[in-house]
């Protein structure tokens, strides 16, 4: 069972000024940040499948985990509100952190936030699910084989919108988005940029893509750039800052500091080292995350420093 949560197909936009600024002759943006639900983002496609399964099993409450500024948690809360479900979000650490960005929207959508403190957030989530037969667990990032089906559908949209594209460039977080694209498009047409969310994202993507596609996809077949992680997942890097700036000033498109900022930085690095070349026709898959920009103090300070 699948539920309808988004507005599909998402637009595919030409970005000629951004292309010229980074050394390409052609570049397109797949605007999955404009998916229609809860401030947009890639998790909506996955939630159509994972929440559909939860409803089919009789769920009245859904529990998921993430970082305090999790885009997945925010969209789970929004989707739950639309479907009449209760949402419980389990985050590491303690209350009292910044309540801006995604956290503010979590509250607006009516989610209950549980702080795991020093405990493993997955263990806390499992305990909450075990309390009731009508409570379902939604996987971290929505990234299991079922959720990845949403990005099989995205790949199908992309082939219809621009059959001659050469490479889809996408942020690699929990793995399901890249896995779905690889399953549909093949590993040779997808370039993932690691954001540091997982210790071994390549293995995760290979396993998920194999399960979704029904054929073995080896880790060494995947195209993954890992140089954009920097000091670690939660940190705003200078490369991400530069990527946010060039996208905003050439196309009026806002990226987020953790995912799409790193992904665009990886695309730029791929042009610089010749992985992507003038004459190629890459598509940047914009997976959203705008609320997370306002929840990242370093990103906001960086943007404010450029006010005249």
pLDDT in tens, 249-278: 999 999 999 999 999 999 999 999 999 999
Q: Is residue 5 part of a domain?
A: no
Rounded to an integer, the average pLDDT of 101-125 is 96
Q: pTM (2 decimals)?
A: 0.97
Q: pLDDT, tens digit, for every residue of 9-36?
A: 999 999 999 999 999 999 999 999 999 9
Range of the structural domain that residue 251 is part of: 12-41+144-304
Q: What is the CATH number of the domain that holds 289?
A: 3.40.50.1100
Spot the catalytic one: 4, 70, 132, 174.
70
Whether 132 sits among the annotated catalytic residues: the reply is no
One domain, residues 148 and 130: no
Q: Is residue 3 part of a domain?
A: no
One domain, residues 61 and 184: no
CB count, 10 Å around CB of 86? 17
CB count, 10 Å around CB of 272? 11
What local confidence, expressed as pLDDT, does residue 239 receive?
Answer: 98
End-of-domain residue from the set 92, 115, 142:
142
Q: pLDDT, tens digit, for every residue of 65-95?
A: 999 999 999 999 999 999 999 999 999 999 9
End-of-domain residue from the set 107, 142, 177:
142
End-of-domain residue from the set 95, 113, 142:
142
Res. 97: pLDDT tops 90: no
One domain, residues 169 and 299: yes
What local confidence, expressed as pLDDT, does residue 98 receive?
Answer: 72
Total of domains in the chain: 2
Structural contact between residues 51 and 83, judged by C-beta atoms closer than 8 angstroms: yes
One domain, residues 69 and 211: no
Res. 308: pLDDT tops 90: no
Res. 176: pLDDT tops 90: yes
Residue with tokens 């420093």: 305
The mean predicted confidence, pLDDT, of the chain is 97
């Amino acid at each position: 069972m699948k539920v309808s949560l988004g507005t599909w197909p998402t637009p595919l936009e030409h970005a000629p000024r951004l292309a010229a600024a980074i050394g390409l002759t052609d570049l397109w943006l797949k605007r999955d940040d404009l998916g229609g639900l809860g401030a947009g983002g890639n998790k909506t496609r996955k939630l159509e499948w994972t929440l559909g399964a939860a409803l089919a099993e009789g769920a009245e409450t859904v529990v998921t985990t993430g970082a305090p500024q999790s885009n997945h948690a925010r969209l789970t809360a929004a989707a739950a509100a639309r479907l009449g479900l209760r949402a419980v979000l389990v985050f590491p650490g303690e209350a009292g952190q910044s309540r801006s960005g995604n956290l503010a929207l979590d509250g607006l959508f009516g989610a209950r936030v549980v702080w795991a403190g020093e405990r493993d957030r997955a263990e806390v989530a499992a305990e909450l699910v075990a309390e009731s037969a009508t409570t379902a667990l939604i996987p971290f990032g929505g990234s299991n084989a079922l959720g990845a089906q949403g990005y099989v559908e995205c790949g199908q949209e992309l082939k219809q919108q621009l059959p001659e594209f050469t490479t889809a460039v996408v942020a690699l977080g929990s793995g399901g988005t890249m896995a779905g694209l690889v399953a549909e498009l093949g590993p040779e047409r997808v370039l993932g940029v690691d954001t540091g969310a997982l210790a071994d994202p390549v293995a995760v993507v290979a396993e998920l893509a194999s399960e979704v596609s029904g054929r073995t996809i080896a880790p060494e077949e995947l195209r993954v750039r890992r140089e954009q992680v920097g000091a670690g997942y939660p940190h705003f890097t200078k490369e991400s800052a530069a990527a946010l700036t060039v996208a905003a000033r050439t196309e009026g498109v806002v990226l987020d500091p953790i995912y799409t900022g790193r992904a665009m930085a990886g695309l730029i690095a791929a042009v610089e080292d010749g992985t992507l070349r003038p004459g190629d026709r890459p598509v940047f898959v914009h997976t959203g995350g705008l609320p997370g920009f306002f929840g990242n103090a370093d990103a906001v300070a960086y943007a404010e420093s450029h006010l005249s």
